């Protein structure tokens, strides 16, 4: 006698839900799968500036990821490094894309850290302005000089000099200009709506 046995499907574990904090940043129009190259490059450079300001930058970023409930996206140093290596300027550039959720997580970490450093960022930009007015070099301000030196070292050790856009920063002066420009971008995102402003600016010219 044939006996048919019906097998009830086992309950599969639910897919992990994305942290609600990601909903504070809208998905850009026409960008559905991965971030444009320019967006990836800009996120990584902004994080590079933070590393030049904050000793132990990677560990601090991971601690902030945990504080914000983003540890499922930015799990550890290796994952953080891989996300940042989506920057096409990197020596260790990977061809994988950066998803919108991953980019949102990095931007949220960036602005959280930046708000903690608002006073320092303002002081450095003010010091640079005063040095310019007195026609003095950045070496006359220890903290500013230290930031610029650390940024130059990070940039040169991590970016691929064979790429034309990286090769354009072939002097201390040009790297200093980039580092100071990034300080201005960090200050831009310290306000109440700083996270949203930074996020929107990363896609300027990329969406219609």
Indicate yes or no: pTM above 0.75. yes
The domain segmentation of the chain, as residue ranges, is 33-190
Q: CA 154, CA 33: separation in Å to the nearest integer?
A: 30
pLDDT of the residue at 5:
44
pLDDT of the residue at 7:
44
| Three state DSSP letters for the chain | CCCCCCCCCCCCCCCCCCCHHHHHCCCCCCCCCECCHHHHHHHHHHHHHHHHHCCCHHHHHHHHHHHCCCCCCCCCHHHHHHHHCCCCCECCCCCCCCEHHHHHHHHHHHHHHHHHCHHHHHHHHHHHHHHHHCCCCHHHCHHHHHHHHHHHHHHHHHECCCCHHHHCCCCHHHHHHHHHHHHHHHHHCCCCCHHHHHHHHCCCCCCC
Q: CA 18, CA 30: separation in Å to the nearest integer?
A: 21
pLDDT of the residue at 56:
85
Six token digits for residue 175: 């790297």
pLDDT string in tens for the chain (208-residue length): 444 444 444 454 444 455 668 888 988 876 666 899 999 999 999 999 999 998 888 899 999 999 999 999 999 999 999 999 999 999 999 888 899 999 999 999 999 999 999 999 999 999 999 999 999 999 999 999 999 999 999 999 999 999 999 999 999 999 999 999 999 999 988 887 889 999 999 987 554 3
């Amino acid at each position: 006698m044939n006996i048919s046995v019906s097998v009830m499907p086992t309950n599969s574990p639910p897919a992990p839900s994305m942290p609600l904090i990601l909903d504070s940043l809208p998905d850009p129009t026409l960008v559905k799968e991965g971030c444009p190259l320019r967006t990836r490059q800009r996120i990584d450079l902004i994080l590079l500036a933070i590393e030049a300001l904050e000793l132990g930058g990677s560990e601090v970023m991971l601690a902030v990821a945990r504080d914000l409930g983003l540890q499922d996206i930015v799990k550890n140093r290796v994952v953080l490094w891989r996300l940042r290596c989506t920057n096409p300027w990197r020596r260790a550039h990977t061809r994988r894309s950066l998803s919108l959720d991953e980019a949102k997580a990095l931007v949220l970490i960036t602005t959280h850290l930046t708000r903690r450093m608002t006073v320092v960022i303002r002081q450095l930009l003010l010091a640079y302005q005063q040095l310019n007015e007195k026609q003095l070099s950045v070496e006359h301000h220890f903290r500013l000089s230290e930031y610029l030196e650390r940024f130059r070292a990070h940039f040169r050790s991590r970016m691929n000099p064979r790429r034309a856009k990286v090769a354009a920063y072939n002097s201390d002066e040009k790297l200093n200009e980039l580092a100071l420009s990034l300080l201005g971008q960090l200050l831009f995102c310290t306000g109440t709506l700083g996270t949203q402003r930074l996020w929107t600016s990363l896609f300027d010219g990329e969406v219609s």
